[in-house]
Amino acid sequence: MLHRGQESTDGSGGGELTVPMAWLYAEYIADELLRSGDLMPPTSFEFRAGRDALALTVFLSDTDGELSGIRVVTQLETWLSLTAYDQPWQEWVEERLADLTADAVASGRTGRDPDLDLARAAWRWLQETELLAPDLNAVPGGGTLAGEDEGPKVWTPAWQLGLPLSHLAIHLF
pLDDT surpasses 60 at 3: no
pLDDT surpasses 70 at 12: no
Q: Name the more confident of 68 and 86.
A: 86
Is 21 in contact with 32 (CB distance < 8 Å)?
no
Q: Could you tell me the pLDDT band of residue 2, with boundaries at 50, 70 and 90?
A: very low
Q: In this structure, which long-range contacts are made by residues 145-149, counting pairs with CB atoms below 8 Å and at least 24 apart in sequence? A: none
- Structure confidence by residue, pLDDT tens digits, 25-50: 999 999 999 999 888 899 999 999 99
- Structure confidence by residue, pLDDT tens digits, 109-123: 666 788 999 999 999
25-34, 56-65, 130-139, range with greatest mean pLDDT: 25-34
State how far the Cα of 159 lies from the Cα of 166, in Å rounded to an integer.
10
Give the global pTM. Answer: 0.80
pLDDT surpasses 80 at 15: no
What percent of the chain shows pLDDT beyond 90?
Answer: 47
In the prediction, which pLDDT does 126 show?
97
Torsion of CA 100, 103, 107, 111, to 10 degrees: 30
| CA 127 vs CA 52, 159, 160: distances in Å | 11, 6, 9
pLDDT surpasses 90 at 14: no
Average pLDDT over residues 86-104: 92
